[in-house]
Amino acid sequence: MTHEPSKKPIKTSIGGQALIEGILMRGPDKLAVAYLRADKSIEVETEDAPLPGKKHKILAIPFLRGVANMIHSLTMGIRYLTASASKAEGYEGEPSKFDLWLEKKLSKKALDNLTTGISLFFGILLPVVLYILLPSFLTSLLKPVISSSLLLNLIEGGIKMLIFLLFLFLTSRMKDMKRVYSFHGAEHKTIYCYEKGLPLTVENVRPQKRFHPRCGTSFLFVVLFIGILIYSFISWDSLWMRILIRILCLPVLVGVTYEINRLVGRYDNFLTRILRAPGLLVQHLTVFEPDDDMIRTAIEAVKPVIPGDGSDKW
């Protein structure tokens, strides 16, 4: 099998997400999900899912597109993550009476939308509690002994980073999450292979790097880091006003970080290598080496979302 490029290397906008025994890939117009079954066969689902900026031009404006795309990705990601949990082989458990009542009262589509909505709510609520409410509350306990707002801000930032890294470390030790993180590695390797212009085969994907600058892990790390810089200018006169300002600033942080992520993913120079280095380092906790079946799954997930008109390229 040749490893020579079949076309000119590109920088693509295609991205993905690891699921439970599967991978989701998003292109500019389509979304595809590939599930690895117990018999090693691969089940693929596709749907039209254009990015928000293609439907509404205002959502393609820099900084706004970051917020719109994040909400879109979060919604679709949670929806298919929930679906992958149900599809995973070995999934057990009898439905509760409440589950049976919901299935009777609601259509499948309405039930799916309800499940996604609830998951999305808690998917947003948990980070707000862990990375805004908890660090702010813990740091406020030090106000009687520390008068410097700058020092308090730095301590709060340190608590945030500690919670973030500890969460990643603990999940990386879990057996089931190790497989999810290995699928994560397959996703990255497959995108690298495609960007290099190589034919999408297991032999070509396997030797690729598993750390990618546009990874969601890197994105979250940069959001936290930029937040520490911005929030360092907010005083500690009122804890609840401080928390409110932080919540209101979240869209700004997401928009700025999205543009930085695009920048470091599109260009490769001394500055972008410095900017991407911390995020790539953190990926050691969430991106593991995949096996060949995981790579096959990633290949089948990415093929349907590659457009023929080149609109996936930056």
Beta-carbon contacts of 112 under 8 Å, excluding residues fewer than 6 positions away, are: 79
pLDDT of residue 98: 46
d(CA 28, CA 51): 6
Q: Is 314 inside a domain boundary?
A: no
Q: Is 7 inside a domain boundary?
A: no
pLDDT along the chain (314 residues), means of 10: 62 91 93 94 93 88 90 87 75 50 57 60 76 89 89 91 93 91 97 94 97 89 86 77 84 89 83 88 96 97 90 74
Q: Is 46 inside a domain boundary?
A: yes
Q: Is 233 inside a domain boundary?
A: yes
Q: Is 41 inside a domain boundary?
A: yes
d(CA 61, CA 197): 29
Cβ burial of 78 (10 Å; 0-12, 13-18, 19+) is buried
Structural domain for 65, as ranges: 15-89+97-305
Q: What does the block give as tokens for 200?
A: 């999408």
Q: Is 237 inside a domain boundary?
A: yes
pTM score of the predicted model: 0.84
Q: Is 312 inside a domain boundary?
A: no
pLDDT of residue 91: 46
Q: Is 9 inside a domain boundary?
A: no
How many separate domains does the chain show? 1
d(CA 295, CA 201): 9
Tokens 């990015």: give the residue.
51
